[in-house]
Copies of this chain bind each other. A is one copy, B any other.
Amino acid sequence: MPGAARPSNLDPAVADRLTRDAAGLVAVVVQQHTTLEVLMVGWMDDEALHRTLTSGRTTFWSRSRQEYWRKGDTSGHVQHVRDVRLDCDGDALLVTVDQVGPACHTGSRSCFDDGSLTVAPAR
């Protein structure tokens, strides 16, 4: 279980399916369940996933602050979890949620709303 340095209450059967990066994390895609809009990408370690699965609220690991954060505790912009899926190689999660208010700290609905890059015409 390389990288899983922090203590965790995650079900070992689930923990065994995770492929963590060097920091012990998996990438987490958060999608609004009604519109299927991709709202944000966050990061979870084993304990953040445990808290997400058992509380019905998304909890992430902040790579910049090196601490847990439960989405909405400060902003009120809570994510109620509907479904959590692990991908085929265990290094990413797809979490569908019911998002209260904007997902992004900028006030945008999605963290991807303002970041369009120029793409060459399709071939």
Contacts and interface: CB of A to CB of B under 8 A. Distances in A.
Interface of A: 14, 17, 21-23, 27, 29, 31, 35-38, 40-41, 52-57, 63, 80-89, 91-92, 94, 98, 104-106, 108, 111-123
A68 to B, nearest CB: 17
* Copies of the polypeptide in the assembly: 2
A34 B119 CA distance: 18
Contacts of A86: 112, 115, 117
B122 A53 contact: no
Chain B CB count within 10 A is highest, among A31, A36, A85, A121, for A85
A116 B85 contact: yes
Contact of A84 (B14, B53, B89, B116): B116
